[in-house]
Amino acid sequence: MDYPIWDLAMGGGLLMAIVAIPHVIVAHFAVGGGLLIAVTETLAVRRDDPALRELARRSSLVLILVSTVFGAISGVGIWVVAGLISPGAISALIHTYVWGWALEWVFFVLEIVAALVYYATWDKISKGAHLLVGWLYFVGAYMSLVVINGIITFMLTPGRWLETHAFWDGFFNPTYIPSTLLRTGIAILMATVFMVFAALKTPEDRRASVLRYLGWWLAGGVIVSYAGYRWWEAVLPETVLALFRGAAPSLASLAATRHFVLWALAVTLVVGVLILILMPKLTRAATAVVLALAAFAFFGGYERLREGTRKPFLIHSHLFSNGLLVSDIETINAEGVASWSGWVARGDADPVSFGRRIFKTECSSCHTLDGYQGIRGVMPSFAEVLAVAADDPPGSGERVFQAECAACHADLSFAEMREVLPSPDEINGDPEMIYDLNVGMVSATIAGLRAMGADYAAADRDRMINTAAMDYPYMPPFVGTEKEADMLGQYLATLIPQKGGE
Amino acid sequence: MNPNLIPAVDPAGLPGPAWLFHILLVFTFFLHMLFMNLTLGGTLLAAFAHLRSGGRRDDFRGALAGRLMAVNNFGISLTITTGVAPLLFIQVIYHQYFYTATILLASIWFATLILLTVGYYAAYLYKFRGAPTRGQGGGLWLGVSALMFFVIAMIHVAVNLVSSQPEKWGSLADGGWNVLGDPTFWPRLFHFVLAGIAFAALVAVWWAVRRAGAGVDVEINTEIARYAWRWALWSTVLQVADGFLLLMVLPKPVLKGLMSGGLATLGPLTLAIFIGIGLLMMLARASNPVENPGLVTGTLGAMTLTIAIMSITRHQVRALYLEPATSQHHFQVVSQWGNFLLFVVLLVAGLATVAYMVRRVLTSPATGEDAA
């Protein structure tokens, strides 16, 4: 909250997704690939099977080019982007788990050195020594996952850490073991779908058997992933589960994501069994792409669900995604955000400029102006108010209400909203009144967000907070003085589309 | 209203005493420097050598370029891997300064990722020259790779300078490019670049001398050794001059702090200067290093020692830059000694495993049917 803000038009969240999504896919491939390649080469040596040997060899080249280059750079990239868009948040994580990351680094060193040696020594050293390197690579890669998963799951379910702030209480949190199982399954899945491309180059007479071999790995990966996912869901606290099982309209997308995740996994299994086990002759580059996309969709959907479920926190019940600590809410409300951050205080003192800096500090970790989660798009506009009031043709008003109003006005039905609004003739006759009404709605929302801070501040900090019970379950509270809330409102009012401007 | 642009110390505190993280930061930075020197200096030297060879691999300079980049295909990975640790530890003790500097230079700091990806894949394209370069030797890819790594060095120097000077953040917020006008920027940048070239050249000499000593391609290895030796000599000559220039343009309070810090600061600085001058004398003693392999090993060892000592001095210079700010902040320390011990045990076990693996690989050559 007291760092300068990077003015990124596309939004920090989207940039993080662009860096993190490819990274997690590649990183899980690196782990699963370690297992599959080591097992495949071991089998090749035992059975004296050149086709399996070539599969392991070709896959190791992909592993080097994709994993040690792109995987390593994008892994650092996640830190780089996190430091740029949520410095306070990543700082809190690092200060809590620096030794966790240090442990992971040791395994990372082993993983990278083993990968480079493994690739470089094909045909140059004995089979036994080469297998040893391959298995050491897998140990390094898998242990990286085992360690880093403790930190990732801690963020969603810190468990007893909230009470004790003890390293291992947070590490071995309620979702740690199920998530480790789930990610193991995902790693096998990712490795399989990548290795199918390498398997396509197998000579015709052995291609079907090699593809079937990968098909059984894929089926195993799906089963482990499904078991891990169900277990993960089963141990989630009710307060978190309510977010994607609840009926709140604003959170419908999370429930939809959950269905998407499970369907994507089912499609992965069906396509995989069909093209790899039952009819391997159907496996072409195009069908392999379909299989990979289905697996990526499952994985991406799960990550979206996990991240979405954690909102509005970075560390659940402790630190919000904009870097605000739950424990700082009352202090900042009393002293003001400009007293907290020199970067907010610095610059023009007029209310709109001041409000803009508050927006950047408190809101821009999630909201852009016009891009991803664009704030301008969620401002009530003249056209939307008119459309709801007119409801012409019948039904159109309710659609606009559901799309544009219901997220914030969950307490009102469409009919109740129409009763509150002036008639279409009155709206057309006095556009200024509607603008004032919209400004009032924005101010009321900010006031509601500020009031929500009191609920967070009063919550038991030793337990996970039930965000589903909050008025805005996916947003951090507004913090600052009433005057600062007013200045934020004045800035946001400049973004409200007026008649003719929408 | 808060007039202070420096963010507050993280309330989570330090999971160990500050001195421990300072030591870990310097030590892991030194490891990173070894591979970074190979990556940056090696790629630049390879690009020059390739250019001089006209792209011919049968020319000793072309062979040198190919050899350096073969090392770099691994070296770049290890540069990134060893860079992770100092990146972690700097965020622990200098988070307020580091994050703020990266945000003030956000676009170019983020661009590092893209430049690194391009530079790394370009290095591989040079290695696999053929399809992408139509058999022309891959000079274009080598040039691209060298350019990317040079620009990354510029960005790192810029971020470091901004993070060390919070008093300039206000003006930098209005124009991040102002950092290029800092009097220490260019001497500092070339201090790294010249060290990289000298170190990579010496590694190339050391390898060529070993090969020549073993009777392998004696003629070309001798030429490579002589050529790279000259690069090491002249880049060290320039390095000594640049080092004194950098010392002179440091801000007065920093220079004064360095000079009045007693043995703690003057010891490493003086030692590094003496070894630097000693390096020059060693490099000037021979024109054909193949005839004096002991001198080559000694010179490489002295160079490595200089890098280690200069890593300490560099850290002290940053501490002096930041002293007015850091003296205002105090970390809460919540030590996790058990976790530190676990880290040390795992680090030792991990490095021992790597050593065992490398030894096993070196002692298990392929024999006929047993080839992997």
Same domain, B172 and B237: no
Co-location of B286 and B240 in the same domain: yes
**Same-domain pairing of B221 and B271:** yes
Q: Is B233 on the interface with A (CB under 8 A)?
A: no
Q: Residue A456: how many CB atoms within 10 A of its CB?
A: 22
Instruction: Give domain status of residue B85, yes or no.
Output: yes
Helix (H, G, I), strand (E, B) or coil at A378: helix
Write down the pLDDT at residue B364. Answer: 87
Sequential DSSP letters for A1-56: --S-----TT-HHHHHHHHHHHHHHHHHHHHHHHHHHHHHHHHHHHHT-HHHHHHH
What is the per-residue pLDDT for B352?
A: 97
Contact B13 A95 (CB under 8 A): yes
> Nearest-CA distance from A128 to chain B in Å?
8
Same domain, B27 and B139: yes
Q: Does one domain contain both B18 and B138?
A: yes
Q: Do A127 and B95 touch (CB under 8 A)?
A: no
pLDDT of residue A11: 86
Rounded-to-integer distance, Cα A154 and Cα A206, Å: 45
Find, in chain A, the residue whose alpha carbon is nearest to that of B115: A73
Residue B208 lies in a domain: yes
- How close, in Å, is residue B366 to chain A by CA atoms? 4
Query: Which residue is it, tokens 């809590």?
Result: A96
Domain finish residue from B146, B181, B216: B181
A295 to chain B nearest CA, in Å?
A: 25
Compare CB distances from A125 to B74, B76, B361 and report the shortest one's residue. B361
Three-class DSSP category at B80: helix
Closest residue in A to B7 (Cα–Cα): A2
Same domain, B32 and B164: yes
Q: Are residues B159 and B243 in the same domain?
A: no
Can you give the pLDDT at residue B129? 66
Decide if B8 is inside a domain: no
Cα–Cα distance list, B180 to A93, B114, B188 (Å)? 33, 21, 11
Q: Does residue B131 register a pLDDT over 70?
A: no
Q: For the residues B218-242, what does the mean pLDDT come to?
A: 96
B229 and B212 inside one domain = yes
Residue B136 has pLDDT above 70, yes or no: no
Q: Which residue has the tokens 């003015």?
A: A7
Do B268 and B151 fall within a single domain?
Answer: no
Specify if B196 maps to a domain. Answer: yes
Task: Nearest by CB to A167, from B2, B339, B365: name it.
Answer: B339
Residue B62 lies in a domain: yes
Residue in A3, A84, A327 nearest the CB of B109: A84
Question: What are B79-117's pLDDT values in tens digits?
Answer: 999 999 999 999 999 999 999 999 999 999 999 999 999
The confidence score (pLDDT) of residue A250 equals 55
CB distance from B27 to chain A under 8 Å?
no
**How many DSSP H helices and E strands does chain B contain?**
12, 0
What phi, psi does A443 have (nearest 5°)? -65, -40
Residues B95, A94: C-beta atoms closer than 8 Å = yes
Q: Within a domain: residue B109? A: yes
Domain count within chain B? 2
Residue B213's domain is classified under what CATH number? 1.20.120
Q: Do B346 and A96 touch (CB under 8 A)?
A: no
Nearest to A445 by CA among A408, A483, A490: A408
Evaluate whether residue B7 is within a structural domain.
no
Q: What's the rounded mean pLDDT across residues B161-170?
A: 94
Mean pLDDT by 10 residues, chain A (502 residues): 88 90 94 97 96 95 84 92 92 94 96 93 93 96 97 95 95 97 98 95 94 97 97 89 66 81 96 94 92 96 90 93 94 94 91 94 90 83 87 89 79 85 86 84 92 94 87 91 95 80 47
Chain A positions touching B347 (Cβ under 8 A) are 106
| Residues 6+ positions from A134 with CB-CB distance below 8 Å | A34, A37, A38, A41, A42, A56, A114, A118
- How big is chain A, counted in residues? 502
Q: Does the distance separating the beta carbons of A121 and B372 come in below 8 Å?
A: yes
Q: Are B191 and B251 found together in one domain? A: yes
Cβ separation of B10 and A92 shorter than 8 Å?
yes
Same domain, B243 and B166: no
Q: pLDDT at position B132, please?
A: 40
Q: Which of A64, A95, A340 to mutate to test the interface with B (most CBs of B within 10 A)?
A: A95
- Residue B169 sits in the same domain as residue B273: no
Instruction: Tell me the shortest Cα–Cα distance from A286 to chain B, in angstroms.
Output: 24
**Residue A499's Cα: distance from chain center in Å?**
37
- Secondary structure in 3-state letters for A216-242: HHHHHHHHHHHHHHHHHHHHCCHHHHH
| Domain region containing B29 | 13-181
Whether residue B115 is contained in a domain is answered as yes
In B, minimum Cα distance to A323 occurs at B10
